[in-house]
Amino acid sequence: MYAYSFSMWRTTTTTTKRVLVKESSSLPASGTVEGRGCKHNSSEYHFIMELVAELPGRLLTGLALDANDDVFAVCACSGELLRLNKTNGTMIPIMATETSPHALAIDPRNGDVYLTDRSENAILKLEAVPNAKGHAEKDEKCDNDRGEVDYTVVRYLNSFENRQFVGPTALAVAPDGELFFTDAGAEGDSSFADPVGAVFRTLQGHSQVVPLCRRGLIRPTGIAVTSDKSVYVCEQGTNRVLRFVLRGTYYIGSVFAQLQGGMGPSAIAVRKSDGSIFVIQYDMKGSSSSSSPNEGAGGIITVIGRDGEVSGIVRTTCPSLCAIALDSREETIYAVEADEASGGSRLLRFRLSPEAQQVTE
């Protein structure tokens, strides 16, 4: 496990706090992190990033934490559901879903797991079935004694008003257990020429599906729901974050933040305590002479305040960031880097020190 220290400065001359990465000479070349930052008459703040697990041969696309802060992910190639063994830092396959999963969400109330399935253009439900004996008797790599769960796959949601979904791309579970999800299909299905991207939610215990936005989005790829049921959506095709606010029984949508640089946002998480929003973006290597705060190579985690203003930028070495999740204490961010060229993935962990949390408040 490798650890890196990020330094963030509060600045009085701009609304953006850039991140300076402090590299450790003890790290291997493959683990170094590049970044640029600045300092303006202010205090220094820190993010600590750790490489938790490397998964050669597995392309992770979905990430979620359960009520116990256990980390789960799905592999788009094998269809496996995996769980992090926190003792030895490995991702353990716990189920072969026999699907083509992409996004992942877990209901913290009962442990039910929801997947988007690209082969079926549907949302699947993995119903948790308690296993009192636990998998520890079958798998010595299990790292806890709470008792494990098995899952039963249920084909769950695949249409709206008798029309097949284009292909759900992201989903989130609201505090009351209802689902919110985006529908945009595979890469290229939603475009400027044919903006078929949509946002839906369920009602009355998932018995109904209603639209927040029936059509008109270009590649919506990430979604998050707050405790007051405000909904944030990453629209990758336009490089922006949308917000949908509940007004009575319906939602009103607007542009919340227009991002700069990169190839668009891919996933999003919201911290309940202060409303800070963490958006991961693809990024291309920029010119070394660029004056943009987004300059450099690698992926970006952009921190946005509740007012829509960018308050910080954190960089990683790989541009292929595809999933992000916060733990229940809101002190740790998990993210996935997935390299389609090599077919491998890395699970990253960002620990937010108290000083770093002050930056976003």
Q: How many CB atoms lie within 10 A of CB 234?
A: 29
**pLDDT (average), residues 269-288:** 77
Contacts of 121 (CB under 8 A, 6+ apart): 158, 164, 165, 166, 167, 168, 185
Domain span at residue 322 reads 1-57+259-361
260 contacts 244 by C-beta, under 8 angstroms: no
204: tokens are: 């009355």
| pLDDT score, position 315 | 79
pLDDT tens-digit readout, 174-205: 999 999 999 997 776 777 787 999 999 999 89
| pLDDT score, position 313 | 85
Asked, for residue 337, whether it belongs to a domain, the answer is yes
- Percent of the chain clearing pLDDT 70 (strictly above): 74
| pLDDT score, position 201 | 97
Q: Chain centroid to CA 12: how far? A: 30
Lowest mean pLDDT segment, chosen from 30-44, 100-114, 237-251, 290-304: 30-44
Lowest mean pLDDT segment, chosen from 126-135, 230-239, 241-250: 126-135
Asked, for residue 309, whether it belongs to a domain, the answer is yes
Asked, for residue 27, whether it belongs to a domain, the answer is yes
25: tokens are: 């000479």
Q: Into how many domains does the chain fold?
A: 1
| pLDDT score, position 49 | 84
On the CB side of 140, how many CA atoms lie within 13 Å of its CA? 0
Q: How many Å apart are CA 221 and CA 237, to the nearest integer?
A: 9
18 contacts 37 by C-beta, under 8 angstroms: yes
Asked, for residue 83, whether it belongs to a domain, the answer is no
Contacts of 128 (CB under 8 A, 6+ apart): 110, 111, 112, 113, 149, 150, 151
**pLDDT (average), residues 36-62:** 68
**pLDDT (average), residues 47-55:** 89
- pLDDT band at residue 44 using 50, 70 and 90 as cut-offs: very low
337 contacts 349 by C-beta, under 8 angstroms: no
- pLDDT band at residue 139 using 50, 70 and 90 as cut-offs: very low
pLDDT tens-digit readout, 113-128: 999 998 899 999 998 7
Whether the predicted pLDDT of 225 surpasses 90:
yes
280 contacts 300 by C-beta, under 8 angstroms: yes
136: tokens are: 């520890």
Q: How many Å apart are CA 236 and CA 248, to the nearest integer?
A: 29
| pLDDT score, position 131 | 66
253: tokens are: 């949508």
Asked, for residue 220, whether it belongs to a domain, the answer is no
SS3 category, 349: strand
| pLDDT score, position 311 | 87
| pLDDT score, position 193 | 81
Whether the predicted pLDDT of 345 surpasses 60:
yes
Asked, for residue 159, whether it belongs to a domain, the answer is no
Asked, for residue 234, whether it belongs to a domain, the answer is no
Asked, for residue 131, whether it belongs to a domain, the answer is no
Q: Chain centroid to CA 81: how far? A: 16
**pLDDT (average), residues 44-58:** 80
Q: In sequence order, what are the beta bridge partners of 71?
A: 65
351 contacts 294 by C-beta, under 8 angstroms: no
